[in-house]
A = this chain, B = another copy of it.
Amino acid sequence: MPQSTPASEPHASLKETARIWFESLRDALCTSFEAIEDAQESSDRPAGRFERTAWQRPTEDASSGGGGVMSIMRGRVFEKVGVNVSTVFGHFTPEFAARIPGAAEDPRFWASGISLVAHMHSPRVPAAHFNTRMLVTRQGWFGGGGDLTPLQLDSAEAIEDAAELHAAFQAACDRHDPAYYPRFKAWCDRYFFLPHRNEARGAGGIFFDNLASGDAAADLSFIQDVGRAFLETYPRIVRRRMGEPWTGADRDALLVKRGRYVEFNLLHDRGTLFGLRTGGNVEAILMSLPPMVKWP
């Protein structure tokens, strides 16, 4: 039987560290979000709590497998927030292997990551997306990013919130390479764009893939800093906005805006399409879709 993991060092030696990081970051995010649910006392509804569901990747033999845990909370501040962690390994199909770094000559891969999407009750609180991941084939690399989707891109509040998250990501980037932030911010703007609407999905953030600086431990440290930046910043933004008043018309506008989010994820998001086409866990992949949407 072949080894169940490819031969890329030093990424291979970091796999367990990365997996544990993603899971501990998940725990910290869930704890932080549940504390926000507790803090929103003006609601009649009970404070939300995360529910966890584990899933296994279908497998034919011991050389592929793994799985993940979906954590989902339907609360009074967070209308629907999902935090997925997964650690999977196996073989890319020949079609995919040809397009994946290091997989052409050896299709075995290992991947671990965290992915988060938050859709909020209040139209005053921006929706958020965040993820980071580590991939190992004969090569190894990291990817990820995070961004905000406010209802009104040009409102003073949306500009303030976006500036705060952008600054936190910039600080995380600058600790590692001053070239990262401008590159990853532009990549985010380019990626989260709806060509058929000729509009941005949201207020941007950072996005990066195939990150392999030559120092795998430093790269892992970088995505940990990105994770901490999101963990420190987004909850602060939510707390600042969640008490602000809003109208039924605002809420209706939010439900329409969410339609653009669905259009992006189903028409363009490479992660979503990759997952659906490669037999990923459908519930986990589509957990990103908003709880209620209107196309009036």
Contact = CB atoms under 8 A, between A and B. Distances in A.
Q: Determine how many copies of this chain the complex contains.
A: 2
A69 B197 CA distance: 20
Interface in A59-117: 74, 80
A70 to B, nearest CB: 13
A139 B273 CA distance: 35
Interface in A120-134: none
Interface of A: 74, 80, 196-197, 255, 259, 262-263, 266-267, 273, 276, 282, 286, 289-296
28 contacts: A74-B296, A80-B295, A80-B296, A196-B276, A196-B282, A197-B282, A255-B292, A259-B289, A262-B262, A262-B266, A262-B293, A263-B266, A263-B286, A266-B267, A267-B267, A267-B273, A267-B276, A286-B295, A289-B295, A290-B295, A291-B294, A291-B295, A291-B296, A292-B292, A292-B293, A292-B294, A293-B293, A293-B295
Contacts of A276: 196, 267
Contacts of A292: 255, 292-294
Nearest to A277: B196
Consensus secondary structure, chain A interface: mixed
10 A-B pairs closest in CB distance: A266-B266, A289-B295, A196-B276, A293-B293, A292-B294, A266-B267, A196-B282, A291-B296, A291-B295, A291-B294
Contacts of A290: 295
A65 B290 CA distance: 37
A294 B295 CA distance: 12
A50 to B, nearest CB: 15
A196 B286 CA distance: 11
Contacts of A286: 263, 295
Contacts of A80: 295-296
Contacts of A266: 262-263, 266-267
A132 B197 CA distance: 26
A273 B197 CA distance: 13
Contacts of A267: 266-267, 273, 276
A127 to B, nearest CB: 14
